[in-house]
């Protein structure tokens, strides 16, 4: 890409990866046909579909008709009536951390699962102890040998599961296992991310009995009354749009300048992101009727750094947008201190940004960015999904040509980042 060109135009936000993945896993529990609209066309979703197929599920993927609907990506039809296989192939499990949530669904459906330790982005230590603790509390027996995990349950039984801290994946895994467990499960300190709400909504539409509403956002408490597997039925569901992709494009506009409008956005989920962006001097206008959000970051003199931002669980600033924030901070005036509270190695992008001329220092979980330095185009290497997207943003801000190598990581979560930015007027293209 050739940078230093402000962004301008409108962009449609894709369906949410982090909502679609657990909902696809949930289809494993439902002995019927489920239809998911607005699924993002990304490699993590392909990977989850491959996992489902490996168990005997029949999957049909149809491109969304963008002329007649506001939906993007694909409609995915999943029929798990004939699933039998309980061994998840290592090549898919190692490719994606989210594969671990198949454990809860498979225990609920088949009572047994063989899986290896999951892979995923290299953003720091990502243990699964909370997942295993919760499944054991529900009555699963778990054997671990080297990299291999074998879990078995004659019958899952409801229990009180009190997580020491909140984990999105562990909460999803336990919800999936508890849906057909005998009796009542109470999850305390459950994660409160919107993707949890989406999973619960989907499962309730399919016949589950989950109380996640009311005060849940305050208390982090979810109560699940187990139902018979035969009571669950197929359902059609629209995947919400992706708050992290929306945030990525907002930070791109903040960093590169210009005026863009995002269509099809999850407005209510963007509060902390919009607060940060407004605090940094851009103008944000929300149109709730049309479900659109516009950002104007064209007056560059007004773009300044806040003094301190820390990532935290929802509704606070999301760790997934910490790398795009770093790039925007490089382009703003003043100093920003960023503390990463969720993942230990999420500053891997910093080395690449420094090679482009950024002034960033790291101490432990904290980065200090001194903004206002010119970035210069280089060949940089993507090492994980969100960091990779942030390097593309850096390229849009830099003088000269930037090439992002290993951009396959970005395809895990962004349908077409190159096409999206090209549509906003950026000089950007794929190279072989
Ligand atoms: C999910 C998201 C990811 C996001 C993250 C935090 C998906 C597919 N991924 O990841 O994009 O960045 O939430 O919002 O939805 N932990 C343990 N033991 C466990 C599980 C987690 O120590 O058993 C720790 C993790 O190392 C991390 C923290 O808990 O430090 C939060 O992780 P978690 O919420 O589980 O993230 P994921 O579900 O992996």
Average pLDDT rounded to a whole number, residues 59-78: 86
The pLDDT of residue 215 is 58
Ligand 1 centroid distance, CA of 169 (Å): 6
Task: Give pLDDT, residue 118.
Answer: 81
Q: If pLDDT is split at 50, 70 and 90, which confidence band does 201 have?
A: very high
Of the CA atoms within 13 Å of residue 253, those in its CB half-sphere come to 32
pLDDT at 72: 80
The token pair that represents 28 in the structure block? 């494993």
User: How far is residue 107's CA from residue 111's CA, in Å, rounded to a whole number?
Assistant: 4
Residue 212 host element (H or E): none
CA of 167 to the centre of ligand 1 (A): 5
**Is-contact 51 92, C-beta < 8 A?**
yes
Q: Give the Å distance between the CA of 198 and the centre of ligand 1.
A: 17
Report which DSSP code applies to 251.
Answer: H
3 state SS of 80: coil
- The reply to whether ligand 1 has any atom less than 6 angstroms from the CB of 99 is no
Which stretch of DSSP H or E encloses residue 361? strand 359-363
pLDDT digits (tens, 9 = 90+) for 180-194: 999 999 999 999 999
State pLDDT tens for residues 241-261.
Answer: 999 999 999 999 999 999 999
- Average pLDDT, integer, range 317-344: 96
Which residues form the catalytic set? 121
- When pLDDT is averaged across residues 337-364 and rounded to a whole number, the result is 94
pLDDT of residue 214: 60
- Say which CATH topology domain 7-14+241-423 has: UDP-n-acetylglucosamine1-carboxyvinyl-transferase; Chain (3.65.10)
- Give the predicted TM-score (pTM) of the model: 0.97
Query: For residue 168, what are the CA distances in angstroms to 143, 227, 296?
Result: 23, 23, 33
Does residue 25 contact residue 105 with C-beta atoms inside 8 Å? yes
Distance, CA of 119 to CA of 335 (rounded, Å): 35
Domain ranges of the chain: 7-14+241-423, 17-238
Same-fold call for 7-14+241-423 versus 17-238: yes
- Closest by CA position to 378, among listed 402, 409, 396: 402
Average pLDDT for the chain: 94
Minimal-distance CA residue to ligand 1 atom 17: 127
The answer to whether residue 75 scores a pLDDT higher than 90 is yes
Question: 17-238 has which CATH code?
Answer: 3.65.10.10
Percent of the chain with pLDDT over 90: 89
pLDDT tens-place string over residues 105-142 = 999 999 999 999 886 555 555 789 999 999 999 999 99
Kindly state if the Cβ of 378 falls inside 6 Å of ligand 1.
Answer: no
β-strand partners of 114: 87, 150
């Amino acid at each position: 890409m050739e940078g230093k060109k402000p962004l301008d135009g409108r962009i449609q936000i894709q369906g949410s990866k982090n909502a679609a993945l657990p909902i696809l896993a949930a289809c494993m529990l439902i002995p019927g046909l489920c239809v998911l609209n607005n699924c993002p066309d990304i490699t993590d979703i392909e990977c989850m579909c491959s996992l489902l197929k490996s168990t005997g599920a029949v999957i049909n993927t149809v491109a969304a008709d963008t002329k007649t609907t506001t939906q993007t990506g694909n409609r995915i039809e999943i029929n798990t009536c004939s699933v039998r296989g309980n061994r998840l192939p290592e090549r898919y499990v190692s490719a994606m951390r989210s594969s671990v949530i198949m454990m809860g669904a498979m225990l609920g459906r088949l009572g047994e699962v063989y899986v290896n330790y999951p892979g995923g982005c290299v953003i720091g230590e990502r243990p699964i102890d909370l997942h295993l603790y919760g499944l054991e509390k529900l009555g699963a027996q778990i054997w671990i040998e080297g990299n291999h995990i074998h879990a078995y349950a004659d019958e899952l039984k409801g229990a009180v599961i009190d997580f020491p801290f909140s984990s999105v994946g562990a909460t999803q895994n336990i919800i999936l296992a508890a849906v057909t467990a005998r009796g009542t499960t109470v999850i305390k300190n459950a994660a409160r991310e919107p993707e949890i709400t989406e999973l619960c909504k989907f499962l309730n539409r399919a016949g589950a009995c989950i109380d996640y509403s009311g005060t849940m956002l305050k208390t982090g408490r979810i109560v699940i009354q187990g139902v018979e597997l035969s009571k669950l039925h197929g359902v059609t569901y629209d995947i919400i749009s992706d708050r992290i992709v929306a945030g990525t494009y907002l930070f791109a506009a903040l960093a590169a300048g210009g005026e863009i409008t995002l269509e099809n956005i999850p407005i209510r989920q963007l509060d902390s992101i919009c607060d940060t962006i407004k605090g940094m001097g851009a103008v944000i206008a929300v149109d709730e009727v049309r479900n659109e959000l516009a950002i104007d970051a064209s007056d560059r003199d007004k773009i300044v750094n806040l003094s301190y931002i820390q990532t935290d669980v929802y509704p606070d600033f999301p760790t997934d947008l910490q790398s795009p924030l770093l790039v925007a901070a490089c382009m703003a005036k003043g100093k920003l201190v960023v503390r990463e509270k969720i993942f230990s190695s999420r500053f891997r992008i910093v080395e690449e940004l420094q090679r482009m001329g950024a002034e960033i220092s790291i101490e432990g979980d904290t980065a200090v960015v001194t903004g206002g330095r010119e970035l210069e185009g280089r060949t940089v290497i993507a090492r994980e999904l969100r960091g990779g997207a942030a390097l593309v943003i850096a390229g849009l801000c830099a003088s000269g040509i930037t090439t992002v190598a290993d951009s396959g990581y970005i395809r895990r979560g962004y349908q077409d980042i190159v096409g999206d930015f090209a549509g906003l007027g950026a000089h950007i293209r794929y190279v072989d």
